[in-house]
């Protein structure tokens, strides 16, 4: 466990792998205290186990103060580095690789000093890897593994008695108590790491989902007109391109209507621009409430709107826009502003397989001008393209 990072929240929360997401959610202040409770507790457990094993005669008495000094130095050195902010420019600000190296070197040295209980120190090394390797890049983790494996192989070569304990020592109740406590603590640390890793993974997934929802909401806001809530040009364009692709590939009908408020400048001049804004919002709300499920309304600019009608032929499109025109003409606009009356002129064009977006819009716009030239408050249909 000692090889873990000892930054504030990681040590306190048993956090084995502080992700970039968590770092964004909880940015570290320039300086923060070092509550190394986790690392200190882990070292304290090790010292307790070593004390029991010392009382059984398996550990030299001199090992305990040296082990304690190395543990305090681990916490002090890396805590000071983080407290002073000296790690900010490091590729891994938690200095995970260095901390793992420190802890592993301590366990290897302790093995050499007390070879009879090498199995316990090997278990601690497993915990160090379980805790620290989660936060290392694969290349660094493999390098750490290779170095540790080489050091263990060298120890096994130099110390043939590594891990062997005389029968007399195994009979000691202190040895049995120390072994039981030691391996139970190692299992507990692994269990805690596993549950904490799962909790971190869950939190990362939740944060990723939240970021995805926020990104979708941002895209939705960017595709909407701020005044009316209708789609804007950026929101309309991909939908229009998709429908034109369907017209070309599947021969499905599609119609588009250009809708313009009649004499809107007069409304602004006579009733004021605020009344004009309310009229725009009211018009969009009225039309949105009476559109079919697949229809899409966009504000194209000023008082001009585009209605995209997928899977709709010219005859059905005329019925749709005539209904909308009548609804607008008969709506009680005086409730929006005293003296307000509002009508719309509409031009309709059916998409042709050869159409691109600009051409379809231009044909609907030409039909709109025809509606205005014919007296306004009416619908006109664009001439169809020949085959």
* Closest listed residue to residue 321, CA positions, set 369, 364, 365, 259: 259
173-222 vs 37-55: helix crossing angle, rounded to 10: 170
Sequence spans of domains, the chain? 8-218, 233-381
Mean of all residue pLDDT scores within the chain: 85
pLDDT at 384 over 80: no
Burial class (CB in 10 A: 0-12, 13-18, 19+), 306: buried
pLDDT band at 329 (very low <50, low <70, confident <90, very high): very high
The stretch 125-137 carries a mean pLDDT of 82
DSSP character at residue 376 = S
Considering the entire predicted model, what is its pTM? 0.55
264-271 vs 273-290: helix crossing angle, rounded to 10: 130
Highest mean pLDDT among 161-170, 205-214, 289-298: 289-298
End-to-end CA distance of the chain: 76
Q: 34 with 74: CB under 8 angstroms?
A: no
**pLDDT-above-70 percentage for the chain:** 88
- Say what the pLDDT of residue 195 is: 82
What does the angle CA 69 – CA 70 – CA 73 come to, to the nearest 5 degrees? Answer: 85
- Say what the pLDDT of residue 165 is: 82
- Say what the pLDDT of residue 29 is: 40
pLDDT band at 191 (very low <50, low <70, confident <90, very high): confident
What tens digit of pLDDT does each residue of 57-73 get?
889 999 999 999 999 99
The stretch 216-228 carries a mean pLDDT of 87
The stretch 217-244 carries a mean pLDDT of 91
pLDDT band at 215 (very low <50, low <70, confident <90, very high): confident
- Say what the pLDDT of residue 193 is: 78
- Say what the pLDDT of residue 379 is: 97
- Say what the pLDDT of residue 386 is: 58
- Say what the pLDDT of residue 130 is: 83
Highest mean pLDDT among 26-40, 121-135, 330-344: 330-344
- Say what the pLDDT of residue 192 is: 81
Length of the chain: 387
Say which range, 3-17, 68-82, 91-105, 199-213, has the weakest mean pLDDT.
Answer: 3-17
What tens digit of pLDDT does each residue of 3-52 get?
443 333 333 333 333 333 333 344 444 334 334 567 788 889 999 999 99
Catalytic residues: 303
More confident: 38 or 287: 287
CATH H-level superfamily of 233-381: Reverse transcriptase/Diguanylate cyclase domain (3.30.70.270)
CA distance 260 to 283: 11
- Say what the pLDDT of residue 162 is: 84
DSSP H helical segments within 87-172, as ranges? 96-113, 118-132, 138-158, 167-170
What tens digit of pLDDT does each residue of 244-262 get?
999 999 999 999 999 999 9
CA distance 149 to 324: 77
Residue that is written with structure tokens 């681990």 in the block? 74
């Amino acid at each position: 466990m000692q090889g873990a990072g000892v930054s504030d929240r990681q040590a306190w929360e048993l956090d084995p792998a502080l992700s970039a997401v968590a770092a964004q959610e909880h940015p570290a202040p320039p300086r923060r205290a070092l509550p190394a409770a986790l690392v200190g507790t882990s070292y304290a457990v090790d010292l307790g186990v070593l004390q029991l094993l010392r009382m059984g005669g398996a550990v030299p008495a001199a090992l305990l103060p040296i082990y304690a000094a190395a543990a305090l130095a681990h916490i002090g050195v890396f805590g000071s580095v983080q407290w002073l902010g000296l790690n900010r420019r490091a590729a891994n600000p938690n200095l995970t690789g260095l901390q793992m190296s420190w802890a592993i070197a301590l366990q290897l040295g302790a093995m050499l000093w007390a070879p009879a209980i090498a199995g316990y120190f090997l278990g601690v090394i497993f915990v160090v890897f379980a805790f620290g390797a989660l936060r290392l890049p694969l290349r660094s983790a493999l390098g750490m593994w290779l170095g540790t494996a080489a050091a263990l192989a060298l120890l096994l070569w130099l110390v043939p008695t590594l891990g062997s304990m005389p029968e007399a020592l195994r009979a000691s109740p202190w040895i049995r108590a120390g072994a039981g406590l030691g391996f139970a603590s190692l299992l507990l640390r692994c269990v805690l790491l596993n549950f904490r890793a799962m909790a971190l993974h869950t939190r990362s997934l939740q944060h990723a989902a939240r970021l995805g929802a926020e990104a979708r909401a941002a895209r939705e806001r960017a595709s909407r007109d701020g005044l009316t809530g209708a789609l804007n040009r950026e929101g309309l364009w991909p939908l229009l391109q998709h429908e034109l692709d369907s017209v070309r590939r599947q021969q499905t009908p599609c119609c588009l209507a250009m809708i313009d408020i009649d004499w809107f400048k007069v409304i602004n001049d006579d009733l004021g621009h605020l009344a004009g804004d309310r009229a725009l919002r009211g018009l969009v709300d009225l039309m949105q409430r009476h559109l079919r499920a697949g229809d899409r309304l966009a504000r194209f600019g000023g008082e001009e709107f585009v209605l995209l009608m997928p899977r709709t032929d010219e005859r059905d499109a005329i019925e749709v826009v005539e209904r909308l025109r009548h609804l607008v003409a008969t709506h009680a606009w005086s409730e929006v502003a005293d003296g307000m009356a509002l009508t719309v002129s509409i031009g309709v064009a059916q998409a042709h397989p050869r159409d691109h977006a600009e051409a379809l819009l231009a044909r609907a716009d030409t039909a709109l001008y025809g509606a205005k030239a014919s007296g306004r408050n009416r619908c006109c249909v664009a001439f169809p393209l020949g085959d």
